Amino acid sequence: MRFVPYLAHLSGPLFLLAFAIQSTLILPVERFLVGDIANTASLFYLPAGVKLVAFYVFRWRSLPSLTLGLVLAFGWFYLPEGTPLSIWLVAGVGSALALPLTYWALCRFLKLDLFNHRQGAPHWSALILIVGLSSVANGYAISTVWNFDAELLWLMRITIGDVMGALGSLIVAMLVLRRQRLTRASADAP
């Protein structure tokens, strides 16, 4: 599987695909259920899961593609028309770096490498912890860039949305990998 490292370049397009699904399918349902609050904090933010899976699988190689996908997504959906390019870039790049920088800070300062020394794959709780912490950091960063106070309830809602989106993506990734293993096993069987 020599082409696998090149799949890291699909991180950005997959993020945009998840973002399109979020905008066209999930967001209308959330608006119906909880009203306009869904516009500022989704309860199931699928793109956060794509970001987690891409970073876990490809680590730092996923960042160029993911960053481009996030910058485009911020310009497409979040930022009002006429927003300066500098704010657009800072928001997109900051959001792309929130997860890897949280992982790096845990490793560097707390000596807690949640991806290391695991049999097979890391525990889901470790991945969810990284998503939750990076979501809070990203929420504070976004509130600073957009110049508003990050209320605790808002931070909790975006964290829940990111965690739920990550769980959804992890379940899909698990099912895809399980199907691949079963297909390989049946092909290898006599």
pLDDT, tens only, 52-61: 888 888 888 8
pLDDT band (50, 70, 90) for residue 1: very low
Handedness of CA 139, 143, 145, 146 (dihedral sign): positive
Per the CB < 8 A criterion, the answer to whether 103 and 130 are in contact is yes
Question: Among 184, 166, 145, 157, which Cα is nearest to 53's?
Answer: 166
Q: Is 46 left (phi over 0), alpha (psi -120 to 50) or beta?
A: alpha
pLDDT band at residue 175, thresholds of 50, 70 and 90?
confident
Q: Note whether 75 and 88 are within 8 A (CB).
A: yes
Q: What is the value of pTM for the model shown?
A: 0.80
DSSP H/E element including 84:
none
If you average pLDDT over residues 134-149, what whole number do you get? 80
CB 4 within 8 A of CB 61: no
Share of the chain above pLDDT 70, in %: 90
The yes-or-no verdict on residue 63 having pLDDT over 80 is: yes
Question: In this predicted structure, what is the pLDDT of residue 17?
Answer: 92
Which residue type occupies 115?
Answer: F
